[in-house]
Amino acid sequence: MKYNIYLIGFMGAGKTTIGKHLAKDLQMPFVDLDEWIEAKNNKRITDIFHEDGESTFRKLESASLHALDNLGGVIATGGGVVENDANIEFMKNNGTLIYLKSPFNELLERISGDETRPLTKGGQHKLLKRYEKREPMYEKADLHVYTFESTPTDVCRKIMKMLRV
């Protein structure tokens, strides 16, 4: 089994952006888990949520994590991957789990108006409740990196320093 770096955090934390930069810097493959799920299922995430429900998506998400265990790369997860304790345990056992952290108001500003995120349709109050629910789960990560007011390059430097590479 190869070593992976898993990026977790709420919507808008920068998992995909940071993941691409980090993978390039570390000369590792990069996978955005949501994009991988869409490609494997030939269906957009929004359509999976709408047609099959969130529980079906979460099952696909867990199965996809397991399918990528031998990647040896950087994996940007979806914000809700942590809602399944088994996913957290799996990621910690198969690599390093890194929480990209920003204040809720900053995240809200980053994702406002993004129609591709099915969970944003419930409004700010529901998003805040989801953020508060997930925060303790994100905190279980091996490393925590504050991304607010940092460039992707700065965040990657912080991560690489923490990883001692």
Which DSSP letter does residue 121 get? G
Residues in the chain where the model's pLDDT stays below 50: 1, 117-119
Q: What is the pTM of this model?
A: 0.89
Counting the structural domains of the chain, the total is: 1
Q: What is the pLDDT of residues 51-61, one digit of tens each?
A: 988 889 999 99
Look up the domain containing 14 and give its range.
4-163
Q: What is the pLDDT of residues 63-90, one digit of tens each?
A: 999 999 989 999 999 888 999 999 999 9
Angle at CA of residue 17, ends 156 and 123, nearest 5°: 125
The CATH number of whichever domain residue 149 belongs to comes to 3.40.50.300
Residue spans of beta strands (DSSP E) within 59-135: 74-76, 95-101
